[in-house]
Amino acid sequence: MWSLGFLAFLGVAAAEDGLNGWLRYASLPCSGQCRSNLPSTIVTLNTTKTSPVYVAGTELKIGLKGVYGKNVQVTHNKCKVSSSIIVGTIDQYRRSCGAVNGVPDLEEDGFWLNTKGDNVQIFGQNERGALYGAFEYLSMLAQGNFSEVSYASNPSAPIRWVNQWDNMDGSIERGYGGPSIFFNNGQIVQDLTRVAEYARLLASIRINAVVINNVNANATLLDPTNLDGVGRVADIFRPYGIQVGLSLNFASPQTYGGLSTFDPLDASVIEWWSNITAQVYERVPDMAGYLVKADSEGQPGPQTYNRTLSDAANLFAKEVKPYGGIVMYRAFVYNQLNESIWTDDRAKAAVNFFKDLDGEFEDNVVIQIKFGPIDFQVREPASPLFANLFNTSMAIELQVTQEYLGQQSHLVYVAPLWKTILDFDLRVDHQPSLVRDIVTGKRFNRKLGGSAAVVNVGTNTTWLGSHLSMSNLYAYGRLAWNPADDTQEILQDWIRLTFGLDRKVLDTITRMSMESWPAYEQYSGNLGIQTLTDILYTHYGPNPASQDNNGWGQWTRADQTTIGMDRTVANGTGYSGQYPDEIAAMYESIESTPDDLLLWFHHVNYTHRLHSGKTVIQHFYDSHYTGAETAQGFLEQWESLQGKIDTERYNHVRHFLDYQTGHSIVWRDAINNFYYNLSGIPDQAKRVNHHPWRIEAESMKLDGYKTYNVSPFETASGSVAIVTISNNTAGTASTKIPFPSGTYDLAVNYYDLFGGQSQWKVYLNDRKIGQWTGNSEDIFSHTPSIYLDGHSATRIKFRNVKVRRGDILKIVGMPNGTEPAPLDYVALLPAGIID
């Protein structure tokens, strides 16, 4: 049997569950330069075990042992030790060791890293910075990088937060990685091991605060026992340089405190919050601040009392100011609207609510603004609010959790999408005004600023629900530190740290990841029409009709001949006029609006020609075919890495990508069918609604099965599926194979519902050739559905099946619970045909 050491030598890591993320410190070979450059001692300049500098020492020790098998001693407060890593703050070094030479002034949280052979200096401006420097050095070592470096690194902005949308009962809103690591049953959990592990990951990407509870906040977090729990959580995060923040429910003084009002200007309300804030800071003296969602999606707010949003923000700002806290006030404020009013437009809400309040906020208030004006869609223009506040601090809000982007069941590396916003030049006053320079405070000279990302890790060992989605968390931290960084370079650091240094592994995961957001956009919503998920239910699978005819304002205004939101000043909602002149002019005109945002800004015929020369409708059709085809390639590319990645992660990712290949086809067909049905315009390439290799389940011979009209219709091939007649008796669907004899891949499209685990068996002339169970709710990360729809529609494939014309193909479905073993169609795919 192979020993672990031998496997490590081969570069094949032992089975891994993802818990260590990119901090695996997987073993690398070490000879020559490596041997002579490995320090023998770690000197930390703080002996307090809960200090970030002490933690840095421990982490360095673990890293050196893990990567290079070297046992290194940690000592404290000794200055001149040869072959050593010395880690501490600049001040600690000066105090213990004397002058430091050649180190430039560092900004808050910044660090200095200096490596010369086996002598390494890591100095932070503060303890947090020293810890960041240690992680930076470890990241080099874990990537086999022994170059001599000497540089300072400073953050782009002071606010580098993450938000968790965790509920007190342990569920997580839009969380796809299992239940909360913080809460259970209305309380903070007792065992905080996972919290410490999360802290370590976050510190390594230089996150400095975490808001632990949902913005749709529950006031019971404020009860004394729970606040004690928050204190325990803060104690876990503190050694990693991370502060804790809390989301507040605006009505708490009334709903929880028993007052008759929650009017932000009422003296009793102010006193109530003052008292609560004192209780919080008594337990968490370094609490980062409050996060507030008010007057939004049913959450209470100051409008109840005709007070302004600044009245509300300032109430909290004044309370936390003496303690050094800040208030993150969310710009996600909007009302229900009426689609029959042509000028109604949710995208205008943030500017309408906040613009006139510019300058009215206390200086420790930061307006937290989602990157686009709607809600984390697959493509949006930059929020115009970034260009409308000059005397108010701002932070950009991003989503690591892939709420509208495949919920971690689809590979989507989101950082390139974020980059389209961060690098966008809003041309305020005709001057360069990149979003990244606005939110970091540089453009308008604000002291505060930065970013917050909704992360939503859970107790799953992969944290987010799937291994590959962790690139998004890693990239978020890197971009929060330096939004000018290159997203592919960030990705490649993550790949090397997560999967090792093999060139083929690096190239393959790079290619798949960089193709993934464009592909997802291609097979979901194109040309700025939004993602086209079901916005009334799970936000996962396709349902374009759900965007319209309701008050949520995510409209497409699609009818038989036209589509898109007219957001021009001349004929539409006037939204384009919220941008500075140059940008407003660009979006106002169809000619200068980029194709990828055409339908965000303009209402056009399906036959309108894009700059590309294609019509809108043909672009939809073509993109959906291209995107789904790219997704098929992810699986093939991943399979080429077999043997180069540990079995546990290889199989897990393979299973997810296999699922994605099928679901990308569900997306492709649903969107294409929907718009073909609406517009009646055929696909020039004759693919849409034309599937020569399919056999519809409803056209098979049925026994114990009956037909079922699927809703939305476009999520079933031919709009009809079959379900078993009874909930406890098997059904059979059989058919004669009409295709030429040969070898095919057999694809079966079925629906995997929450509420049961049906079993299907496939026979060829009574010989069983495959079987599966409808248990994806236990395996994949996305929100399951109780219906036959675009969320539950799933494809399974059996490869290389030899058939003869006239063979009998039979599927037996055994229902379970409320899942009636539904089937949509089978396809026999000759080599090279995707269907």
Cis status of the peptide bond prior to 692, with omega within 30 of 0 = no
**Residue selected from 16, 362, 375, 669 as contacting ligand GCV according to rule CB under 6 A:** 375
Site for ligand GCV in 588-617 (CB under 6 A): none
**Residue selected from 107, 173, 358, 502 as contacting ligand GCV according to rule CB under 6 A:** 173
Which residue's structure tokens are 């718009």? 675
DSSP 8-state symbol, 550: S
| HSE-up (13 A, CA, CB side) for residue 549 | 6
Cβ neighbors of 304 (< 8 A, separation 6 or more) are 262, 263
Nearest residue (CB) to ligand GCV, 169 versus 173? 173
Cβ proximity of 244 and 233 under 8 Å: yes
Is 397 an annotated catalytic residue? no
For 771, counting Cβ atoms within 10 Å of its Cβ (0-12 exposed, 13-18 middle, 19+ buried), the class is middle
Q: Give the separation between CA 56 and CA 22, rounded to whole angstroms.
A: 16
Q: Quote the distance between the C-alpha of residue 755 and its chain's center.
A: 27
Q: How far is the CB of 185 from ligand GCV (least distance, A)?
A: 21
Site for ligand GCV in 196-215 (CB under 6 A): 215
Tokens of 644: 């180069």
Q: How far is the CB of 709 from ligand GCV (least distance, A)?
A: 29
Cβ proximity of 347 and 373 under 8 Å: yes
Cβ neighbors of 610 (< 8 A, separation 6 or more) are 527, 595, 598, 616, 619
**Residue selected from 332, 575, 659, 744 as contacting ligand GCV according to rule CB under 6 A:** 332
Size of the site for ligand GCV (CB under 6 A): 9
Cβ neighbors of 131 (< 8 A, separation 6 or more) are 52, 53, 55, 56, 59, 124, 203, 240, 241
Q: How far is the CB of 472 from ligand GCV (least distance, A)?
A: 17
Q: Give the separation between CA 423 and CA 290, rounded to whole angstroms.
A: 28
Is 375 an annotated catalytic residue? yes
Nearest residue (CB) to ligand GCV, 153 versus 407? 407
Q: For residue 635, give Cα distances in angstroms to 145, 467, 505, 774.
A: 31, 15, 14, 21
Please identify which of the residues 297, 356, 429, 639 carries the catalytic annotation. 297
Q: How far is the CB of 376 from ligand GCV (least distance, A)?
A: 8
Please identify which of the residues 166, 397, 403, 515 carries the catalytic annotation. 403
The residues with which 245 forms a beta bridge, in sequence order, are 211, 289
Q: How far is the CB of 227 from ligand GCV (least distance, A)?
A: 22
Nearest residue (CB) to ligand GCV, 346 versus 496? 346
The residues with which 197 forms a beta bridge, in sequence order, are none
Which residue's structure tokens are 């965790």? 166
Q: Give the separation between CA 244 and CA 210, rounded to whole angstroms.
A: 5
Nearest residue (CB) to ligand GCV, 89 versus 368? 368
Nearest residue (CB) to ligand GCV, 282 versus 297? 297
Tokens of 752: 């995997």
Cβ proximity of 263 and 314 under 8 Å: no
Nearest residue (CB) to ligand GCV, 402 versus 593? 402
Q: Give the separation between CA 641 and CA 499, rounded to whole angstroms.
A: 11
Is the four-CA dihedral 273, 275, 276, 278 of positive or negative sign?
Answer: positive
**Residue selected from 216, 510, 632, 647 as contacting ligand GCV according to rule CB under 6 A:** 216
Nearest residue (CB) to ligand GCV, 403 versus 835? 403
Q: Give the separation between CA 472 and CA 489, rounded to whole angstroms.
A: 13
Query: With binding defined as CB under 6 A, does residue 174 bind ligand GCV?
Result: yes
Nearest residue (CB) to ligand GCV, 109 versus 295? 295
Q: Give the separation between CA 757 and CA 383, rounded to whole angstroms.
A: 43
For 560, counting Cβ atoms within 10 Å of its Cβ (0-12 exposed, 13-18 middle, 19+ buried), the class is exposed
Q: How far is the CB of 466 from ligand GCV (least distance, A)?
A: 20
Cβ proximity of 84 and 120 under 8 Å: yes
For 344, counting Cβ atoms within 10 Å of its Cβ (0-12 exposed, 13-18 middle, 19+ buried), the class is middle
Nearest residue (CB) to ligand GCV, 376 versus 413? 376
Q: For residue 289, give Cα distances in angstroms to 212, 369, 478, 724.
A: 12, 17, 23, 55
Query: With binding defined as CB under 6 A, does residue 165 bind ligand GCV?
Result: yes
Nearest residue (CB) to ligand GCV, 386 versus 587? 386
Q: How far is the CB of 397 from ligand GCV (least distance, A)?
A: 8
Cβ proximity of 738 and 713 under 8 Å: no
Cβ proximity of 405 and 531 under 8 Å: yes
Cβ neighbors of 446 (< 8 A, separation 6 or more) are 392, 393, 394
Query: With binding defined as CB under 6 A, does residue 637 bind ligand GCV?
Result: no
Q: How far is the CB of 406 from ligand GCV (least distance, A)?
A: 15
Nearest residue (CB) to ligand GCV, 219 versus 631? 219
Nearest residue (CB) to ligand GCV, 129 versus 175? 175
**Residue selected from 194, 206, 293, 649 as contacting ligand GCV according to rule CB under 6 A:** 293
Please identify which of the residues 59, 375, 646, 683 carries the catalytic annotation. 375
Is 648 an annotated catalytic residue? no
Q: Give the separation between CA 534 and CA 84, rounded to whole angstroms.
A: 57
Q: What residue type is assigned to position 142 of the chain?
A: A
Catalytically active residues, by annotation:
297, 375, 403
Site residues (CB under 6 A) for ligand GCV?
A: 165, 173-174, 215-216, 293, 297, 332, 375
